[in-house]
């Protein structure tokens, strides 16, 4: 089991301004085995990033002795695959096709994809999409992306997020299985399910469909986005999470996604990740 750090958790990361090599160096110095880079339409890594630029990033990672564990994107929150506007839907599909190639050029095989949303909790003016229509459009979006996933050997990893969509592990399992493709997988976030479910139950139900794991902590008594807290300060039962991951044979990255940046948070996160997951090595 290897521990990773999200690029977003470092200073300037969420704004896509932190130089990638600086973020990789900080992650390595904190003891992380890998870093999850983030791609957006603007910033240091975009859908216009070239193969040569990616090769330079990979070479820098090799020099530092850190792996690029995966690539994430929040682009489809504001440019949703389930939007009512067909031009918006086309733009995010075009972006994601390019992003899958960038992910491949960066030498990793997992791309975090938010397939749409019924509601966007942090964008109060966002449109609300009927659940059944959201499901239909999200399915169509993934179907359009599978050929590029096959071309690049990069898995489209659907994450459970606060989008009022795919609200149970059974529905997530059915959604993923409907594509009959090994390149449509799950990016499971242990903290995101805590308000309505149990991470260990999700893990056992999703099983081998889980390609990557995000690690956060959450206080259920708060019940809003303010409930996300530093690791080991919330209600996630990490012992149960570790047991469930072991039971399903998960051996991939567990990546801390602690945001936004706060002074000292990366250091605290690194210590907590080592404390939580050391037992995997025993």
Q: Does residue 210 carry a pLDDT above 70?
A: yes
Q: Residue 103 in contact with residue 68, Cβ under 8 Å?
A: no
Which pLDDT tens digit goes with each residue over 40-65? 999 999 999 999 999 999 999 999 99
Q: Residue 208 corresponds to which tokens in the numbers above?
A: 């081998």
User: Average pLDDT, stretch 207-219?
Assistant: 98
Q: Residue 110 corresponds to which tokens in the numbers above?
A: 């997992």
Angle at 32 between CA 261 and CA 58, to 5 degrees: 95
Q: Phi/psi at 274 (nearest 5 deg)? A: -65, -40
Q: What pLDDT sits at residue 115?
A: 98
Report how many domains make up the chain.
1
User: Average pLDDT, stretch 240-261?
Assistant: 97
Pairing of strands 217-218, 228-229: antiparallel
Pairing of strands 210-215, 110-113: unpaired
- How large is the C-alpha radius of gyration of the chain? 18
CATH code, domain carrying 176: 3.20.20.150
Q: What pLDDT sits at residue 279?
A: 52
User: Average pLDDT, stretch 134-145?
Assistant: 98
Give the span between the Cα atoms of 246 and 280, in whole angstroms.
8
Tell me how far apart the terminal alpha carbons of the chain are, to the nearest angstrom: 11
Question: For residue 274, how far is the Cα from the chain centroid?
Answer: 20
User: What band does 278 get if pLDDT is binned at 50, 70 and 90?
Assistant: confident
- Residue 247 belongs to domain spanning: 2-281
Which pLDDT tens digit goes with each residue over 159-184? 999 999 999 999 999 999 999 999 99
* DSSP-assigned states of every residue in 21-79: HHHHHHHHHTT-SEEEEE-BSSSSSBTT--HHHHHHHHHHHHHHT-EEEEEE--HHHHS
Q: Which residues pair with 40 in a beta bridge?
A: 46
Q: Residue 205: which residues within 8 A CB-CB, separation 6 or more?
A: 169, 170, 173
* Nearest Cα residue to 172 out of 129, 223, 114: 114
């Amino acid at each position: 089991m290897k521990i990773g750090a999200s690029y977003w958790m470092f200073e300037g990361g969420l704004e896509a301004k932190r130089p990638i090599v600086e973020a990789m160096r900080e992650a390595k110095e904190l003891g992380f085995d890998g870093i999850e880079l983030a791609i957006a339409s603007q910033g240091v890594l975009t859908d216009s990033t070239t193969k040569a630029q990616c090769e330079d990033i990979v070479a820098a990672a090799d020099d530092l002795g850190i792996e690029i564990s995966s690539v994430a994107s929040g682009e489809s929150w504001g440019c949703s695959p389930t939007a009512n506007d067909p031009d918006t839907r086309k733009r995010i599909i075009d972006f994601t096709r390019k992003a899958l190639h960038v992910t491949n050029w960066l030498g990793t095989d997992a791309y975090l994809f938010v397939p749409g949303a019924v509601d966007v909790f942090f964008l109060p003016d966002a449109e609300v999409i009927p659940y059944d229509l959201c499901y239909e459009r999200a399915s169509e979006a993934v179907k359009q992306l599978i050929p590029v996933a096959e071309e690049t050997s990069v898995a489209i990893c659907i994450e459970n997020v606060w989008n009022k969509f795919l609200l149970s592990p059974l529905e997530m399992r059915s959604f993923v299985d409907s594509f009959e493709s090994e390149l449509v997988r799950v990016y499971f976030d242990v903290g995101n399910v805590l308000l309505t479910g149990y991470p260990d139950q999700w893990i056992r139900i999703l099983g081998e469909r889980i390609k990557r794991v995000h690690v956060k902590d959450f206080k259920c008594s708060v019940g809003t986005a303010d409930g996300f807290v530093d690791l080991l300060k919330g209600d996630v039962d990490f012992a149960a999470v570790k047991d469930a991951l072991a039971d399903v044979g998960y051996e991939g990255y567990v990546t801390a996604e602690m945001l936004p940046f706060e002074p000292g948070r990366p250091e605290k996160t690194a210590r907590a990740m080592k404390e939580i997951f050391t037992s995997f090595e025993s």
